[in-house]
Structure 1
Amino acid sequence: MKKFTKILMTGLLSAMLLASCGNSQQNTDSSNTGSGEAPSGAKKVGVIQLVEHEALDSSYNGFVEGLKEAGFNDGENLVIDFNNAQGDQSNTTTIAQKLKNDNPDLIFAIATPAAQAVANQTSEIPIVITSVTDPKVAGLVDSNEAPGGNVTGTSDLTPVEDQINLIKEILPEAKRLGVMYTSSEDNSILQAEMAKTAGEAAGFEVSEYTVSKTEDIMAVSQSAIGKVDAIYIPTDNLLAANMTAVSQITTPAKIPLIVGEKGMMEQGGLATKGIDYLELGKQTGAMAARILNGEKPADMPIEYQEESVLYVNQKVADELGITLPQSVLDQAK
């Protein structure tokens, strides 16, 4: 009997240790913060963010501000359950399942994989998204004009036409425009097509330069030398991560790079006219407030950034020997 009791106690202790390890692993994979128990009658919002990143963090902070401006204050009449997947796709699925089971009044999803994860889990709970370039292409809505389901929100599509026109303003004598992008990224293909259309409308002779892997970048950049007066690069993941490989070829050749977003300027981009992710988050928060007040996502078109911000890199301009027009400097942030 004593032997049996000892075995039983050992088994129970092992089970407790395994359970403890399982909980520890879950905490490592994703982070979760919330404002505690919901005050009586408060609305509940579950949040899933793909990864910690300046733009995505700003989107979330703006979202909270937008809700507050609409009368929803976290800890008062609102409870926010924030979850970060830490860039792990398996975590997005786990968090999405958790949020579905929690059944909040609304889910806020930041970035395409996060949005897809929760949309795959529920067609009933309202979902508001942001930092998704094209929700229709991502399979999240029937159309961007009429979502038709439980998903709506904001797109972070950059103002491509304005970016192309910025080239004309900075380089009025430029005639030949290269559009460089990754041929396997749907997001980049969409923006490249827009850039080609806008470039031709602006009077440029437009040529494409595509890459498919990191090893292609320097050779493709070199192939553009002598054939273009400027290069446009959209918000392309591969090229954004390897901007130095482009700029170390183009800058000595005095070819400016107009890029899709501010972060790409840190590694050689000359200028961009892009969106403000904090403001985009506020815009998304305002949409969420409308849903919490009774509107249906199906009837709310995807919204875009209402204003764009002009950024210039004076250091790169000096290296290129370009004098930025006063009209550009006056607008630049």
Structure 2
Amino acid sequence: MDTTHIASLRSLAKKRDVLIGAAANWRALRTDYAYREVLAQEFDLLTTENELKFGPLSPRPNAYDFGPAEELVDFAQANDMKIRGHTLLWHKMNPDWLTENNFTRHQALELLHKHIFTVMAYFRGEVYAWDVVNEPIHDNGGLRDSFWLHTIGPDYIEYAFRWANQADPNARLFINDYGTEDLGTKSDSLYNLVKDLLRRGTPINGVGLQMHLSIADSQDFVKPPTVQDLEENLRRFADLGLEIHITEMDVQIQNLSGSMEEQLERQARVYEDVLTVALRNPQLKAFVLWGFTDRYSWIPKATGRPDAPLPFDEYYQPKPAYEALYRALQAA
């Protein structure tokens, strides 16, 4: 495969007024020179992978450790990259001191307010966009059970966005979820939720579609949407006046039949189709991968099976998926 290019992904994306990014692994950034080099060369948007989630950030009451997140922000600023803060609220990775206590609704609202203002004030003016609420929709279309829903109620989402806007009025505020790129029950629920928030005057700027996809020979994974369904889904969110970010894309190939070459070509077509369709929508402002090299992908650990879901292999060599993204940006 010819890996010689006259441009990087970030330079091509800039010409199309779109940010292209990757979630960054703090430990890899500290210890792996090649990781730092490729990340800075190819991307102009950095998403914090775990460093701004509530649990890692505040393992003890009234104490925050901003060190790892600050290193990511410093790296991004040194390399002319914008930051996506991920995430203020999620049903997972919360500290034990939060979830194992029986807080009242009033106390939970106070904790929510304090958390949002503490984190956003620390990085005020430095974080371009925040995933304010992450994965609030259950696969069945209802609101996902979480500490915040259980203790506060459905209006925790509106409180979070209003307080986030007060904490940093210049930050772009997003709701983010998986399995919502296709047309169906879950994406309908996200659409209706956002539409209702806007009707209430809630300060929400955009929707993040994660795009954790799989082309495995199994029904247990999220399949890529059809081109038509993806286009229609993006259009309806854009018609609400929302910005659109693809926020966490990777494409699993485990359990896929065929040679490795065939698997990687099928994977590449998914990447190319998604980016090509997304670029047709003028409200697409960012396209972000969940990592960029197979070396540090979360998927093998989460599934217990080897995989190669990202555009660079474990030795930082571009794969067909990289070439596909490059072509899509060139053709846009």
Task: Give the TM-score of the pair, scaled to structure 2.
Answer: 0.31
Greater RCO, CA 8 A, separation 6+: 1
